Amino acid sequence: MSSQEQLQHLVVKKVLKADDFIKWLCFANAGMLNTGNIWCLDYAISHLPSQAPIVEIGSFCGLSTNLITYLKLKHGVGNKLICSDPWDFGASEKGGALAGHPYIQREEYKEFVKSSFIKNVSFFSKHDLPFAIEAASDYFFEQWVRQQNVNDVFGRNLHLGGPISLAYIDGNHSYEFAKRDFENVDSFLEPGGFILFDDSADGSGSEVCQVVAEVSLSGRYQLIKKSPNYFFNKLRNID
């Protein structure tokens, strides 16, 4: 950081009242944020191993996205945030009414949630818009592997690919999808990088618990904390 950036960071830190801001964010931004995730993301963002992007799988209405950009601001971190979400909710396959509702179609729900994301992020992250890619994570990572140029929902072009410093995995929570999200992230996560798995708390009955058990057994990750979700750091000295 240059001395001017350091000074700006100190000013920002002095002005921000962390808990208060997160409280106001959570009041206004629909979402599903376990409060224990705040500690993990705060820790990860203040200990990132490099300038490599942060990846979020599953953004919904942008609550965790806005939390991440806030924590980037708090810690004076410039790493790009790149998000993947198809905002589909069965609209493309099943179509039709949302849970049998006579007046609300799945397609309308999809558009409502996606536009909520855009509105929430445009307000709370106006200083640092994340790159939000409308795609399911499997396709997102296919594009990442091919180092493709993509357009985000704000109409900006982005070159995907390369190392990742932090991944927040909160997309499809079935074993098959969460495991694949882990494997894809793992191929690009730098040594010293972080992964937080949402919905992985012991005893929750979620299929993500099986994924985090396998990550723990791999010997390649250090468990930093169960908060209660599993929060890992990739070991630096692995073959």
Per CB under 6 A, does 91 bind ligand SAM?
Answer: no
Residue at token pair 């001017």: 4
Cα of 3 vs its chain's centroid, Å: 30
Which residue, judged by CB position, is nearest to ligand SAM in the bound state?
A: 31
Q: How far is CA 46 from CA 125, 200, 207, in A?
A: 18, 23, 29
Contact status: 84 vs ligand SAM (CB under 6 A): yes
Question: What are residue 232's phi and psi, to 5 degrees?
Answer: -115, 155
Question: Among residues 14 and 172, whose Cβ is nearest to ligand SAM?
Answer: 172
Binds ligand SAM by CB under 6 A, chosen from 40, 48, 54, 58: 58
**b (16+ CB within 10 A) / e for 73-85:** bbbbbebebbbbb
- In which element (H, E) is residue 112 found? helix 106-124
Query: Cβ 38 to ligand SAM, closest distance in Å?
Result: 11
- State CA 90 to chain mean position distance: 21
User: Contacting ligand SAM (CB under 6 A), which of 1, 32, 145, 223?
Assistant: 32
By CB under 6 A, is residue 184 in contact with ligand SAM? Answer: no
Q: Does 231 sit near ligand SAM (CB under 6 A)?
A: no
Is 63 a residue that touches ligand SAM (CB under 6 A)?
A: yes
Give contact residues for ligand SAM (rule: CB under 6 A).
Answer: 31-33, 57-60, 63-64, 84-88, 136-137, 170-172, 177
